Amino acid sequence: MPDETDLLSLQTPCLLLDEARLRANVARMKAGLAHLGVAFRPHLKTAKSLDVARIAMNSATGPATVSTLREAEYFAAGGVRDIIYAVGIAPAKLARVSAIRATGADLAVILDSLEQADAVAAHAARSGDAIPALIEVDADGHRSGVAPADTATLVAIGKRLVSGGAALRGVLLHAGDSYALNDPAAIAAAAETERVAAMTAADALRSAGLPCPVVSVGATPTARYARDLTGVTEVRAGVFMFGDLYQAGVSSVAMGDLVLSVLATIIGHQRAKGWIIADAGWMALSRDRSTAKQAVDQGYGVVCDLAGNPYQDLIVSDANQEHGIIGLRKGSTARLPDLPIGARIRILTNHACATGAQYDRYHVLDGEGGISAVWPRINGW
């Protein structure tokens, strides 16, 4: 087995995790939500790791949010008992949901149509498993969900679930449009829009005599900048734990909060072109180019030294599958650093979820230039 105790001995590319920053990010979020008097249900779709989950959750049993049933299976096997699968349920997945629930996990699903409600109710009648469901409500036109003012549809879905033997757990929203904002005041306004939409939907159900014990909202930007969460019972957020260049670009995190980086090795130079070549291409960094739409385009990632300090204006300007092409940001007057073949660098990437999906483990930094642990992570659906 190769030595995996320091950055110079690791095989590259590999994924590094700064545990101290992770813990600080989680503590900051928990403190902010506690101040607003609302519970925290961390979204684990980015982390996909029990070691990270145990830092993020309020207890070893949850609560938690997942985006795949593979995640639900993995976390349930690890002792997590309170889970929301926060992607609209496909009828063909209901048997798998019940199998996870049979292990002792309280796994809830979400839906936004009468067709899905019919499928959940029919499954409950056949199986005897009263799967709890939350109605997804559209916070801002970003993705799925029933319009918050569409009382008729909300009530019809709720009645279909309850009359069919399933359980109506509440409403769930995601303020996805907040990711396109970068002004704290605008993000705070988006958080209030999300809260009002949630309360409008919850009040519609309650006025019809239907239960709505859970009012669940969440997105990293709104979770950070919300000023009032009256009526909300819980907040879901996940990518804030790690942060990434995109989140830094919308002011959800600071550059100094970023937890993940890709360790890479210099494998070549094209000096006439002003390029340095590394062994981390888009397979290692991800194809995500979301910062191209922001005020500062970070290419495929920001290049740092081994201590994690960014080189001036040095980015991964282009990428092939296994080659990262490193160069100075357009218009920069900085000088290329002297990075000989074999030198190690760290790269901060645009999207923590997409980058993480390439790896099956985190190499955890000990704060002194070494590796303190290796934490497994999972992928798949």
Q: Where do the domains of the chain lie? A: 36-241, 255-376
How far does the chain reach from its first CA to its final CA, in angstroms? Answer: 30
Domain 255-376 belongs in CATH node 2.40.37.20: yes
22 in Cβ contact with 55 (< 8 Å): yes
What is the predicted pLDDT for the residue at 3?
57
Equal CATH topology for 36-241 and 255-376: no
Beta strands 344-348 and 302-304 are antiparallel
In the chain, which residues have pLDDT < 50? 1
**Distance, CA of 310 to CA of 36 (rounded, Å):** 35
Segment holding 359, helix H or strand E:
none
What is the predicted pLDDT for the residue at 4?
66
What is the predicted pLDDT for the residue at 369?
83
Tokens representing residue 30 in the block: 């928990």
Buried b (16+ CB within 10 A) or exposed e, 272-309: eeebbbbbbbbebbbebbbbeebeebbbbbbbbeeeee
DSSP 250: T
What is the predicted pLDDT for the residue at 178?
87
**Distance, CA of 168 to CA of 220 (rounded, Å):** 26
**Distance, CA of 213 to CA of 134 (rounded, Å):** 10
Name the 3-class secondary structure at 376: strand
C-alpha separations of 42 from 74, 86, 278 in Å = 16, 12, 34
Tokens representing residue 302 in the block: 């920001």
In which residue are the tokens 């029933």 written?
146
Q: What share of the chain is helix, strand, coil (3-state, %, to 5)?
A: 35, 25, 40
- Which among 99, 58, 64 has a CA at the least distance from the CA of 81? 64
The fold of the 36-241 domain, in CATH, is: TIM Barrel (3.20.20)
Tokens representing residue 379 in the block: 């992928």
What is the predicted pLDDT for the residue at 1?
44
What is the predicted pLDDT for the residue at 5?
72
**Distance, CA of 79 to CA of 177 (rounded, Å):** 33
Helix axes 69-77, 94-101, angle to 10 degrees: 10
Q: What is the pTM of this model?
A: 0.94
Segment holding 143, helix H or strand E:
none
What is the predicted pLDDT for the residue at 368?
85
The amino acid that residue 101 corresponds to is R
